Amino acid sequence: MLPSAVQAHRDSYGKRLHQSGSPTSINSNENNYYGEMKRLPLMLDGYLKFQSLRKASYALLVGGGNFKSWDPEFIPQSTYSNAKKSSQMVTSLLYDMVNEFFVPFTNFPPEDKKILFEQFSVLFDNAEKSYNTFKAYGHIENNDKVILADGGYVKLDEIYKYYINSLDVNADPQQLVK
């Protein structure tokens, strides 16, 4: 892959502002490849560290490791309390990752950091949940389960069960769903 072909600046319609070399002019020298992409390896290292810390934190918060198996039979049902704790923990770890490994982020003013992180974290979280749901249930036709932040699932037609036995919910689960 030619990184400059992928990362070329584009106008508002998605067209490249300048032409890159032909697709067959790929240089297989790995040093040149990483020479052009100076920040991507650092970001990858940050994401791998984030995954490791998240896995260890899940074991402490929720009581057991999540994402051990993508077999739908072994995925637990999610609860509001677990998902809330997991979301708070993931948000904190994600902020640390972005602050440490996404180089220009640390130089922004605090107000800009807040706005950028809010937008990034929502997209990141939704992308991960969507990917995890596809990985676990993508092969099942008419699937109505979604993987949430705690690694458990919730059935879309039984969302009230998500709130049952939750320490943080003081109302009737059926009323919360409405």
107-116 pLDDT tens trace = 999 999 999 9
108-148 pLDDT tens trace = 999 999 999 999 999 999 999 999 999 999 999 999 999 99
Q: C-alpha angle with apex 46: 64 to 56, nearest 5 degrees?
A: 15
Higher pLDDT, 165 or 20: 165
14-39 pLDDT tens trace = 555 555 554 444 454 555 555 678 88
What does the pLDDT average to over 62-73?
67
Indicate the residue type of 25: S
Residue 172 is predicted with a pLDDT of 75
Contact 150, 66 (CB under 8 A): yes
Contact 86, 170 (CB under 8 A): no
Q: How far apart are CA 21 and CA 96, in angstroms?
A: 38
Instruction: Check residue 28 and report its DSSP letter.
Output: -
Q: How far apart are CA 77 and CA 91, in angstroms?
A: 21
Per the listing, tokens 């402490």 go with: 60
Helix/strand/coil for 113: helix
146: β partners: 154
